[in-house]
Structure 1
């Protein structure tokens, strides 16, 4: 998109040219990309495509999220890890991720890494804190 949304009009024009219909773009800036689960998952997937070890990619992403202020993070990768013939899943937790608590503010992201051995799925859960409902009086 560029600095201060410089390319917004060109993107909008290309969408209108492609679809033939008027399009409205709503662009939201993400203040802290290390706490956004979708961006963390896409970053891990990109590292896997560049042949970086899956454990190293997961650990670094979890450390960055913790430093950014996340209360907990859970990452999971599934597929032919390290090119093994039998697919498996590996997950790591850091901090707390209360997935069964309704008031927990948990962000979820999913991405796929297309490697020479096949597709590796990456799932990320980021716990940002609790959402406290306002009391009705």
Structure 2
């Protein structure tokens, strides 16, 4: 019984997060976390557009708070806004941005969209990044395209600080899956390439 309650609790929590993201707009929300306190529920929304999320005089926050009470039966939800100052280093915002551009410009321009995203990430100070697009790009057969730049460790300690995210784009050719990995400029030791010494020729 306790296991069923826990599963139901997690499903409800996921529903709240998805509703908040959908309600506040794709491409604006990086993450939604929920903290439970003695006085109520604290909903922390990480966004690059705090003004648009809050709305005029906080009207959007008030509307969302009311829905969380009525639809999701939260006792006393309180919404906190966490501003993301460098959206180019946030994997979720980048993934959503790529998805929006694919839907607007079409999947035929996927290479231009991906390379522009790479450049933006590296200009923002990332050590390395990787973008993977999976779907019918641009042929009838599904395929995965990989775009990468810089240093990106996938195993060991450096891999733990890699910011990862996924998104989907719905195009006329079908659904395109998007994966973004970003290694920000943190305290990570980048291994130096060993130079090969030329062997002396025997006389």
Counting only pairs closer than 5 Å after superposition, residues 9-88 of structure 1 correspond to structure 2 as 9-22=62-75, 23-50=77-104, 51=106, 53-82=109-138, 84-88=139-143
Match of 1:97 among 132, 135, 152: 152
Give 1 or 2: higher helix fraction: 2
Q: Structure 1's 131 and 99: CA in aligned 2 closer, same or farther, altered over 3 A?
A: same
Shift of 1:130: 4.4
**Which structure has the higher relative contact order (CA within 8 Å, separation 6+)?**
1
Shift of 1:11: 1.8
Shift of 1:85: 1.4
Gaps of 5+ in 2: 1-49, 189-203
Q: How many residues align?
A: 131
Shift of 1:49: 0.7
Which deviates more from structure 2 when the two are superposed, residues 107-116 or residues 97-106?
97-106
Shift of 1:87: 0.6
Which residue of structure 2 aligns with residue 135 of structure 1?
none
Q: Secondary structure at the match of 1:27?
A: strand
Shift of 1:4: 8.9
Shift of 1:20: 2.9
RMSD, aligned CA = 2.0
Residues in 2 aligned to 1:89 and 1:67: alpha-carbon distance in whole angstroms: 25
Which deviates more from structure 2 when the two are superposed, residues 4-13 or residues 51-60?
4-13
8 Å Cα contact 1:103-1:130 kept in structure 2: no
Greater than 4 Å deviation, 4+ residue runs: none
Shift of 1:92: 1.0
Which residue of structure 2 aligns with residue 117 of structure 1?
173
Gaps of 5+ in 1: 133-137
Larger radius of gyration: 2
Which residue of structure 1 aligns with residue 191 of structure 2?
none
8 Å Cα contact 2:125-2:185 kept in structure 1: no
